[in-house]
Amino acid sequence: MTATTIDGKAFAAGLRARVAEGAAKVLAEGGRKPGLAVVLVGDDPASSVYVRSKGKATVAAGMESFEHRLPETTSGAELVALVDRLNADPAVDGILVQLPLPSHIDERAVITRIDPDKDVDGFHPVNAGRLATGLEGFVPCTPLGCLMLLRDVLGDLSGKDAVVIGRSNIVGKPMAQLLIRESCTVTVAHSRTHDLPGVVRRADIVVAAVGRAKMVQPDWIKPGATLIDVGINRTKAGLVGDIDPACASVAGAMTPVPGGVGPMTIACLLRNTLVSACRRLGVAYDRAL
C-alpha cells in the first residue's frame, strides 16, 4: 500500500485561478481591484522572500499589492500609526503584518490594532473568537488550506477521528476549531501528551504542526489514515516535514513536503482578501471559495 499524494500545488493553482475570476468580478461590479497591504519591518531574508512572493501572487490574481517596507529601527508607535492609516484606506481590503517583528515591537499590540474585517491573516482575537463561536470571520490561512485539502480528498469529514499535533495560535488551535466545525471528534496533542503514538494511532485524520523533522513515524499511523504535514524543517538532506515520508506505506493519503500545504497558504491569503473586498463593496462571491 502506498498513500495517494495530496497535491497542494495543483489545488492551490486552481484556487488562485478562481480568486482571479472573483477579482475581475469585483473590478467590474465594485469599480476597483481588491487590495492587499503587506507590511515588512526589517530585512529578515526569509520574511523578505515571503513578502516578495505574496506581492507577485497578488498582482497575478488581478489585485492591487501595497508593500510597505520599514527599517529595523521603526518604533511600535510608528508601525501602529501605519496600521491605522491602512485601516482607514478604502483601497485596502486586507492587511498583513509579516511576522516575526523585531524584538522591540509588541506583536500583540500591532495585530490587535488591525481592523478585524481587514485581518486576512486571521490572527486578531476577534477573528479567533468568531471561529470558536461559529460566527463568520477570517481564518488563518494555513489551517484553512489544510481543511480545503481534507475536504477535497475525503469529502464529508463528519464523524472522523482527528488528531492535531501542535497547539499554536497560528495553526494548531484554529485547525482544531475548523475540524470541530466539520463535526470531527478532535484531539489536540502536544509535547506533554501521554503516549502520543497511541493517541495518533486512533486517528482517521492527522495534522502535524510541531516543527520537528520526521517526528511522526509509520508505526504511529492507523492504516488508511489521511495525513496533513504542516512542518517545514531545514535539514542537511533538504526540506522535510514533521511526518516521516515512510508513513506513506501505511496512510491512505498524505501531503508531500514541499508541495503540499505550503502553496495553499498564499492561495488562501488571496482568497481571504477577495472575500473581504466582496463584503466591503457589496459584491456577491462564491461561498465555496
Structural contact between residues 104 and 115, judged by C-beta atoms closer than 8 angstroms: no
End-to-end CA separation in angstroms for the chain: 33
Q: Look at residues 6, 66, 71 and name the one whose alpha carbon lies nearest to residue 254.
A: 6
Q: Which of 121, 204, 242, 244 is catalytic?
A: 121
Q: SS3 of 5, please?
A: strand
Structural contact between residues 232 and 212, judged by C-beta atoms closer than 8 angstroms: no
Question: Is 217 an active-site residue?
Answer: no
CA-CA-CA-CA torsion sign (58, 62, 63, 68): positive
Question: Is 98 an active-site residue?
Answer: yes
Structural element, H or E, at residue 15: helix 8-30
| Residue 40, all three cell numbers | 515588512
Distances (CA, A) of 272 to 31, 175, 226, 266: 19, 16, 26, 10
Question: Is 121 an active-site residue?
Answer: yes
Q: SS3 of 111, please?
A: helix
Q: Which of 33, 98, 119, 173 is catalytic?
A: 98
Query: Which ranges of 33-91 does DSSP label H, i.e. alpha helix?
Result: 45-60, 76-88
Q: Which of 54, 118, 160, 173 is catalytic?
A: 54
Active site residues: 54, 98, 121
